[in-house]
């Protein structure tokens, strides 16, 4: 990203300059907060690093966060492409977990059939997530209900369903508790080799998702159609595309990927259904995609960085008596600063073209 | 149920609804001007944290409420500036701010968790509080609760009976026409975003200093912002109907404690979900009511027509679409 101008001086491309400025502003802000909280900033950053990347075990924890985050982000690329704000992704993860638990409960009594039930649960999870997304999709296209409010509403309904199942029909023998349903036998876990500590199936899934999303959006008719509708629904309609059908299709993809993320939360991480099964990864994935500027190449690294922040900040309460939400603050501030930077660039552009810019002054 | 029980329940509903009413009215004002402040769930928490800490340190409830209101206004101003002047998607900005302000509240509030802080005391209104039944129900509350009740009427009067209220609605419905009439839609939207934000901030302060006194993770205000956003829609962007929604929700919450006795298997969190299917249902009805054949069908079914009329509020026509002169 560094090149030389005609005189041979090093110049940094404006985009890199913006990125550096954004990062600088955010870490300045975070450092200020740390000073207010009475903690030395550099030490806090060092602990964030130690907590996430200093050992193989910690790295595998990061990867276990990165996987569902990337899966959700892949799905969101489809919905963003057509101009939908699929905030319901959080609920789609939860329903994926619910469908997974439902299938695995049926497989609890037959230990040798474990792999079969795990495969079935993956299919069920994708189906469940897609169904939940389809509800929001149809509410949008048939019912005229904004997808943001439909999605938000469905998130809370999904949370209600999870809680009801944990405390009602699927409660632990004896007493229901917030710790979730009974843990599944190890035959129903997604196995990880002792050294790797990450299920290869999960890794394969996320790589497949990234490749499939990239190929579909770039090289297939569907990808092109989604983009056409997202850019100009009216014109796309005149060209014979069916925006409603494509919107539902995009929602199905997003829900399917989110459902898979929900499956891995059960089969690879918690081995049971817990109230916070989605771990806010759906909401976080929205931030990932925004920070990646809807670019699939950036989704995986940004998701990895976010995962590092999530895992690293778990150390903060123990080491520095800080709240672990510092990671979330940095994530949010990065996205906000990036949005601000985009806006600033746009204003400069508009002014350069000689158009009026909104100003707070009198008319 | 004895008369005493009923009066305690009604008083509890009115007191419990106070912060929700404040947030709902604040958001209604902002959305009536055409701007969505999606950040409520986080800004309420940040305001709650700020008001608790300031009230504790300054040993002044007033300072706490002022701090809370200012925090709410600042977050709302950020939404307005990003969406109007920096031309960013206001939903995106609001959503990011929701998560950011929530985490900020937990991070900065951490040292003040579970501390004993100041809290408002009931202020009986002399004379009126002696009226049987009505006295304890209406006239023996802390000041923020009175304020929340009065605010509903004031907001309705301002929106529908004053000239600035008319301008506010004009900008929300048709900013181009308002612009042609010499109103600067940007100024109006920023102004009412900040006004709405002040009330949202007061909602947070009311949580931390009155309804659920104290600070912690969780504080107890979590989720209220989303509920308030749902109730604004449920109320069809009308302050009175939105406030009714808030009282209904407060009633449900209180009843949840009773329900729990009957249905011990169902955790109280499940009852918290109730407003959301209602919100979706309301939006669906509103959209269906635009359909001619649905209206004709409803006209022949008395009950359906009544339901349609009750829920037929319309979103401000340019809600969420910032004004661009071209």
Return phi, psi of residue B140, to 5°. -140, 60
Using one digit for the tens of pLDDT, what is the confidence trace for B153-190? 999 999 999 999 999 999 999 999 998 888 999 999 99
Res. B29: pLDDT tops 90: yes
Joined tokens for residue A337: 């600063």
- Answer whether B97 sits within 8 Å of A139, measured CB to CB: no
Other C-beta atoms lying within 10 Å of the C-beta of residue A96: 38
Percentage of residues in chain A with pLDDT exceeding 90? 66
Q: What average pLDDT does chain A have?
A: 89
CB contact under 8 A, B99 and A346: no
A-chain CB neighbours of B292 within 8 Å are none
Q: Is B215 on the interface with A (CB under 8 A)?
A: no
- Please report the domains of chain B, with CATH numbers, ordered by start residue: 3-310 (1.10.3470)
Q: Which residues of B touch A338 (CB under 8 A)?
A: none
| Set of chain A residues whose Cβ sits within 8 Å of the Cβ of B100 | 328-329, 332-333, 336
Range picked from A313-317, B39-43, B173-177 for highest mean pLDDT: B39-43
Nearest CA in chain B to A362: B184
Task: Work out the minimum CA distance from A161 to partner chain B, whole angstroms.
Answer: 8
**Length, in residues, of chain A:** 363
pLDDT (tens digit per residue) in A116-135: 889 999 999 999 999 999 99
Give the other-Cβ count within 10 Å of B113's Cβ: 15
| Span A208-247, pLDDT tens digits | 999 999 999 999 999 998 998 888 878 887 888 888 999 9
A37 interfacial to chain B (CB closer than 8 Å): yes
Best mutation target among A94, A156, A363 (most B Cβ atoms within 10 Å) is: A156
What mean pLDDT comes out for the span B130-148? 89
Distance CA B52, CA B221 (A): 13
Nearest to B284 among A143, A283, A360 (CB): A143
ipTM score assigned to the predicted complex? 0.91
Handedness of CA B129, B135, B140, B144 (dihedral sign): negative
Question: At CB < 8 A and 24+ separation, what contacts does A26-34 make?
Answer: A26/A330, A26/A333, A26/A334, A26/A337, A27/A330, A29/A333, A30/A326, A30/A329, A30/A330, A30/A333, A33/A326, A33/A329, A33/B104, A33/B107, A33/B108, A34/A322, A34/A326
List of chain B residues whose C-beta atoms are within 8 Å of the C-beta of residue A37: 107-108, 110-111
Band (pLDDT 50/70/90 cuts) for residue B5 is confident
pLDDT mean over B23-41: 96
Per-residue pLDDT tens over the stretch A178-202: 788 888 888 888 888 888 889 999 9
- Percent of chain B topping pLDDT 90: 60
Chain A residues lying within 8 Å of B91, measured CB to CB: 85, 148
- A283 touches B at CB < 8 Å: yes
Domain A51-320 coded CATH 3.40.50: no
Count of CB contacts below 8 A, A vs B?
161
pTM to 2 decimal places: 0.92
- Report residue A137's pLDDT band, with 50, 70 and 90 as the boundaries: very high
pLDDT of B19 > 90? The answer is yes
Q: How many CB atoms within 10 Å of residue A2?
A: 8
C-alpha closest to that of A155 among A216, A225, A87: A87
Token pair for residue B187?
A: 């100024």
pLDDT band at B56 (very low <50, low <70, confident <90, very high): very high
Q: Report residue A173 as tokens.
A: 């023998």
Residue A113 above 80 pLDDT?
no
Helix, strand or coil, per DSSP, at residue A1: coil
Q: How far apart are CA B174 and CA A149, in angstroms?
A: 23
Q: Where are the domains of chain A?
A: 51-320
Produce one character per residue of B206-232: b if its CB has 16 or more CB atoms within 10 Å, e if not: bbbbbbbbbbbbebbbbbbbbbbbbbb
**Residues A143-155, mean pLDDT to the nearest whole number:** 90
The reported pLDDT for the residue numbered B223 is: 87
Closest CA to A82 of A246, A235, A324: A246
Q: Is A359 helix (H, G, I), strand (E, B) or coil?
A: coil
- Nearest chain B residue to A325 by CA: give it: B103
Q: Are strands B140-141 and B123-124 parallel, antiparallel or unpaired?
A: antiparallel
* A327 → chain B, closest CA residue: B103
A222 neighbors A115 (Cβ within 8 angstroms): no
Assess whether pLDDT exceeds 70 at residue B68.
yes
pLDDT at B207 over 90: yes
The H or E element containing residue B102 is helix B90-109
């Amino acid at each position: 990203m560094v090149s030389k101008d005609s005189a041979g001086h090093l110049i940094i491309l404006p985009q890199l300059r913006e990125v550096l400025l954004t990062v600088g502003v955010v870490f300045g802000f975070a450092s200020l907060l740390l000073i207010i909280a009475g903690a030395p900033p550099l030490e806090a950053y060092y602990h964030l690093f130690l907590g996430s990347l200093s050992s193989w075990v910690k790295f595998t924890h990061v990867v276990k966060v990165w996987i569902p985050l990337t899966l959700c982000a892949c799905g969101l690329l489809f919905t963003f492409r057509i101009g939908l704000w699929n905030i319901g992704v959080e609920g789609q993860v939860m329903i994926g977990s619910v469908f997974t638990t439902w299938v695995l409960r049926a497989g609890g009594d037959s230990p040798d059939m474990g792999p079969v039930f795990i495969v079935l649960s993956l299919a069920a999870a994708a189906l469940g997530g897609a169904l939940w997304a389809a509800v929001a999709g149809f509410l949008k296209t048939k019912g005229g209900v904004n997808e943001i409010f439909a999605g938000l509403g469905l998130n809370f309904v999904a949370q209600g369903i999870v809680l009801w199942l944990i405390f009602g029909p699927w409660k632990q023998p004896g007493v229901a508790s917030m710790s979730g349903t009974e843990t599944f036998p190890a035959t129903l876990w997604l196995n990880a080799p002792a050294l790797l500590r990450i299920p290869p199936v999960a890794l394969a899934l996320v790589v497949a998702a990234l490749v499939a999303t990239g190929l579909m959006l770039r090289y297939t008719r569907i990808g092109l159609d989604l983009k056409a509708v997202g850019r100009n629904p009216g014109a796309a309609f005149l060209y014979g595309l069916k925006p409603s059908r494509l919107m539902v299709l995009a929602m199905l993809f997003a829900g399917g990927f989110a459902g898979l993320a929900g499956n891995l939360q059960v089969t690879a991480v918690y081995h049971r259904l817990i109230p916070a099964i989605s771990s806010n990864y759906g909401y976080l994935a929205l931030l990932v995609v925004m920070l990646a500027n809807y670019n699939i190449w950036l989704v995986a690294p940004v998701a990895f960085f976010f995962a590092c922040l999530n895992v690293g900040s778990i150390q903060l309460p123990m080491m520095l008596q800080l709240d672990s939400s510092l990671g979330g603050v940095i994530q949010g501030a990065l996205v906000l600063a990036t949005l601000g930077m985009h806006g600033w660039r746009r204003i400069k552009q508009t002014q350069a073209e000689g158009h009026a810019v909104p100003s707070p002054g009198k008319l | 149920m004895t008369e005493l029980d009923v009066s305690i329940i009604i008083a509890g509903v009115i007191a419990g609804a106070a912060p929700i009413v404040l947030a709902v009215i604040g958001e209604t004002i902002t959305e009536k001007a055409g701007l969505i402040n999606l950040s409520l769930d986080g800004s309420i928490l940040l305001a709650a944290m700020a008001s608790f800490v300031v009230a504790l340190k300054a040993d002044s409830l007033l300072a706490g409420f002022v701090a809370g209101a200012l925090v709410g206004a600042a977050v709302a101003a950020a939404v307005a500036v990003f969406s109007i002047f920096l031309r960013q998607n206001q939903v995106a900005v609001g959503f990011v701010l929701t998560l950011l302000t929530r985490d900020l509240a937990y991070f900065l509030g951490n040292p003040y968790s579970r501390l004993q802080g100041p809290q408002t005391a009931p202020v009986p209104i002399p004379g009126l509080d002696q009226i049987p039944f009505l006295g304890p129900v209406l006239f023996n509350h802390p000041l923020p609760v009175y304020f929340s009740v009065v605010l509903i009427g004031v907001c309705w009067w301002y929106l529908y009976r004053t000239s600035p209220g008319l301008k506010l609605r004009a900008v929300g419905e048709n900013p181009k026409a308002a612009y042609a009439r010499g109103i600067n839609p940007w100024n109006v939207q920023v102004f009412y975003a900040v006004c709405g934000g002040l009330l949202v901030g007061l909602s947070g302060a009311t949580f931390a200093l009155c309804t659920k006194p104290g600070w912690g993770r969780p504080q107890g205000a979590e989720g209220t912002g989303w509920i308030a956003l749902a109730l604004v829609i449920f109320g069809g962007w009308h302050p009175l109907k939105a406030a009714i929604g808030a009282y209904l929700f407060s009633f449900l919450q209180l009843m949840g404690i009773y329900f729990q006795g009957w249905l011990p298997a169902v955790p109280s969190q499940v009852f918290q979900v109730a407003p959301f299917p209602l919100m979706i249902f309301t939006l669906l009805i509103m959209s269906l009511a635009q359909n001619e054949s649905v209206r004709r069908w409803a006209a022949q079914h008395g009950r359906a027509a009544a339901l349609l009329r009750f829920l037929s509020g319309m979103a401000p026509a340019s809600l969420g679409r910032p004004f661009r002169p071209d």
